[in-house]
Amino acid sequence: MNIATTAHAVIRCGERGFRETDFDLIAEYGTMTNEGFLLTRKDIMKAERAAKILVHRLSKLQDSFVATTDDGGAAKTIFRVTRKQRRRQTGRWQSGLFALLVSTAVLFVSFAAGG
């Protein structure tokens, strides 16, 4: 939730040890009252349960890949990647010996060209 803040609220935030982002967190996870939002222990426990469920689900999805259209607007397919595919997608496939060979070749070509 993106809650608008007044200048007074921002000043009080600094004086009382809150961050400006705390407004949104309290509004997102707190309980709505007649006059605003109140973050209770029960609200925190509810958020913890939701976070644990999310982390569990994310761990099950590790190494999954969604191929998208060029504009990124639609999913074309989903699959689990191999180690080679993961390195290629993250750009890590150019590490190690391959990177050394490429950089050596670049230096050699540049030296041979007189640069």
State the average pLDDT over residues 82-90: 78
Does some domain include residue 2? no
Residue 81 DSSP label? P
Co-location of 54 and 79 in the same domain: no
- Which pTM value belongs to this model? 0.61
Out of 39, 60, 81, pick the residue that ends a domain. Answer: 60
Domain coverage including residue 55: 7-60
Co-location of 79 and 92 in the same domain: yes
Co-location of 43 and 72 in the same domain: no
Total structural domains within the chain: 2
Question: What pLDDT does residue 88 have?
Answer: 77
- DSSP alpha helix (H) spans, 1-115: 7-15, 22-29, 41-60, 83-90, 97-112
Does some domain include residue 1? no
State the average pLDDT over residues 42-57: 95
Co-location of 26 and 49 in the same domain: yes
pLDDT band of residue 41 (cuts 50, 70, 90) is very high
Among 1-5, 24-28, 73-77, 83-87, where is mean pLDDT lowest?
83-87
Which residues 6+ apart lie within 8 Å of 3 measured at CB? 23, 24, 27
5-21 in b/e burial notation, b at 16+ Cβ within 10 A?
eeeeeeeebeeeeeeee
